[in-house]
Structure 1
């Protein structure tokens, strides 16, 4: 099994028993309390949300700006929900969803099973899943099914169900995916009470935001680096940290553990490298994005480098084989979904796009330059993309003012 490596940050071990709405001007110290940041139509506290993101600290976004577009509610509230709840499907407008999207194939996780530290996946039509959800309380169902990682926006680029909150809108990852017309990292989740996602950190140690359209979620989080102390003797992370073993005040990491209940109409920000577990407390519909930008791209790059080192150690005995480094890149992509070439394509695309359009150029180019300069010191990375990296650096230097070079 490939090892898992996380970046370590310093955090306070102060413990609070309740999550409450903090004064948003308070010191941004990581503690067991997750702050709710309220942003209204006038963008009050917008800068506070950006400060939490830049400091890699979780928070819950509340207020009209979280679920509105141009002053109106997200269309998904009016289209996918109904005024009165039904047994099994809650506030979901099953008739509308079936009529519009019933024949689509959707990914579904089996929450009652474990395979390789995750829930095994299957596929159903959306109609089949909604039929299952309608009768979920029936005792004949022995497995809890969770519709998750559904690329709705990718499948329906012309359907505007929601809008990314402004504080989460600087998103290099999905910008690249949309520009290239490839699979993105924007998802729809739908599940009954009791559906859940096991303990994990997000792809490439990216950020994540998740907004509840209806229902409630219970989140359990550990600061980056804290998960290392949860591993067993073989280096494996726990599958489920909701049990009494981990929730007890006697547990050695209890003071680092965070829990919060996210309500409908709220969005939660999950920082880079923070391991978390999620439970639906009732029928829940949510939208989720994974993303990175100038703030966390160094963490993503470092995690990619560290994971490659781990891959290399795992197959070091095969170093004499032809194109050993190339095989390492194949394994890296199989493990993370990215390899050096994939990551550098994103960075170079964003760099050239910012230069050509002058869009956010002064803001975004500096961290891109730092990543590419780091690549120039990495022999493996240069083997993968030396021509592209050198070309991009030449463009960057040409357009940067002298005092920024």
Structure 2
């Protein structure tokens, strides 16, 4: 049998199948159908029709309202955001190996657009695609326009995504405080036809949403239960994963294949989705995905999380730290045997190193995680109607604080991290007590009301 993409999705489970919403769902519907079951969806154009960048067509070359016929206005990006800096991935054909290799470097949007225009003219024979990735447009825009009246941002976050703990920072990113320095997860991607992002899951299993402002994308989605099938050795969590969809198909068609024994199962559960201009896709927690730009594209993307998937983030950090510890086992031994070093000193030094390596590898570790929780517990990101009840939220978070208290590494971490985690636990305990008090008060008031109503109905003896 010859395997092809036509075999994709033959056995997709009902609970995994992507939902196409014809109308914009309420937060309650989105929560029940997508957040709680961790299910992907495509949201209609009406979700973002009010965005300035949509109704003005300022990123589209022809200004037409017919979104399917629009093209990227590269010169407009250069004009408005030319001084912004972003990573740019250039895919080139290596003449020696006949393989496409990607080079990633930071450059200004102005220089990136010049490169794209040269590519479009055919001046760069070896280049196959150019992709502006992870462009922190909002952060740089706020920094450059701080204090200027009437500054309008290109988009606003849809209400159904407003419960966003990863980007719950001050709207005044230019204030020079902590918010101005910390990373955020608000991106713009702008790429030529054929550019792509290979198979991956989002940082620490966070959610993502992505709106196509201009262009058409193809998505390949794989649910969490297929992850072992993507591994070279399915039962080994550190085993290499198949890097992309082309390699997956090529490997399946190898006659003498011994590795990746369950790839066919992954293919059978993979969904291939086309996302059109002005549509928004929601990628759930821990779903692997690959993205191809079928045309020149610009999209607005955010990674985000909240109490629905915070446990998944926590356990993915635990897993990352375990992998780092295993990779540093020789360093642990060296530190333990270092002259003039106590047992406590070596423990503190080792676990501090593990945190540093995890941050360099994945961008996060315990400090950022507990700081994020503390920030969102003290300043919730949205109104009550657009997030779960505090009692439900506490039920998701308290087990994480208890687990962290009993972790071996927690004993030796920077006291600031331990204090932050303990503060989160205290805040959650207080929230639970407050909820219990209010519930008891409501029961008392209801009982008193029922009693009065009952007494009012008793016959009066003359």
Other-structure match for 1:4? none
Aligned 8 A contact 2:89 2:131 in 1: yes
1:23-82 Cα offsets, whole Å, 9 max, x none, are xxxxx9334x42211334xxx454332221221111111141x213xxx34335522224
SS at match of 1:189: strand
Change (3 A) 1:50 1:392: closer
Counterpart for residue 266 of structure 1: 279
2:223 equivalent in structure 1:
223
The equivalences for 1:121-140 within 5 A come to 121-140=104-123
| Aligned with residue 11 of structure 2, among 6, 15, 22 | 15
Query: Corresponding residue for 1:375?
Result: 404
Change (3 A) 1:247 1:172: farther
- Separation in 1 of the partners of 2:331 and 2:93? 35
User: 201-210 or 72-81: which moved more?
Assistant: 72-81
Kept in 2, the 8 Å contact 1:196–1:278? The answer is yes
Quote how far apart the aligned CAs of 1:402 are.
Answer: 6.5
CA distance in structure 1 between the aligned counterparts of 2:401 and 2:169, rounded to whole angstroms? 17
Number of the residue aligned with 1:75: 53
Most deviating of 97-106 and 198-207: 97-106
Q: Is 1:236–2:240 an aligned residue pair?
A: yes
CA distance in 1, matches of 2:22, 2:412: 47
Q: How does 1:334-373 map to 2 (within 5 A)?
A: 334-354=360-380, 361-362=390-391, 364-373=393-402
CA separation of 1:45 and 1:134: change in aligned 2, threshold 3 A: same
Checking the alignment, whether the CA contact within 8 Å between 2:72 and 2:215 is kept in structure 1 is no
SS at match of 1:190: strand
Q: Secondary structure at the match of 2:376?
A: helix
CA shift digits 1:342-394 (9 cap, x unpaired): 11111122122249x99964454443333222222223235432223323333
2:310 is matched with 297
Q: How does 1:190-209 map to 2 (within 5 A)?
A: 190-209=190-209
Give the superposition deviation at 1:247. Answer: 8.5
Displacement after TM superposition at 1:296 (Å): 0.3
User: What is aligned with 1:174?
Assistant: 167
Structure 2 match to 1:22 = none
Distance in structure 2 (CA, Å) of the matches to 1:159 and 1:73: 10
- The structure whose Rg is larger is 2
Give me the whole-angstrom Cα distance separating, in 2, the residues matched to 1:210 and 1:168. Answer: 11
Question: When you count helix as a share of all residues, which structure comes out higher?
Answer: 2
Measured in 2, the distance between the counterparts of 1:395 and 1:293 equals 17
SS in 2 for 1:398: helix
Structure 2: how far apart are the matches of 1:177 and 1:278?
Answer: 31
Aligned 8 A contact 1:39 1:62 in 2:
yes
Would the aligned equivalents of 1:241 and 1:247 in 2 still touch at CA under 8 Å?
Answer: no
Aligned mates of 1:404, 1:311 — CA distance in 2: 41
TM-score normalized by structure 2?
Answer: 0.71
Aligned length: 367
Scaled by the length of structure 1, the TM-score of the pair is: 0.81
In the TM superposition, what is the alpha-carbon distance from 1:312 to its structure 2 partner?
Answer: 1.1
Structure 2 SS opposite 1:173: coil
Are residues 1:148 and 2:118 paired?
A: no
Contact 1:176 1:350 in 2 (8 A): no
Distance 1:165 1:246, change over 3 A: farther
User: CA offsets per residue over residues 172-208 of structure 1, 9 Å max, x none?
Assistant: 0110476733221000000111000111111111001
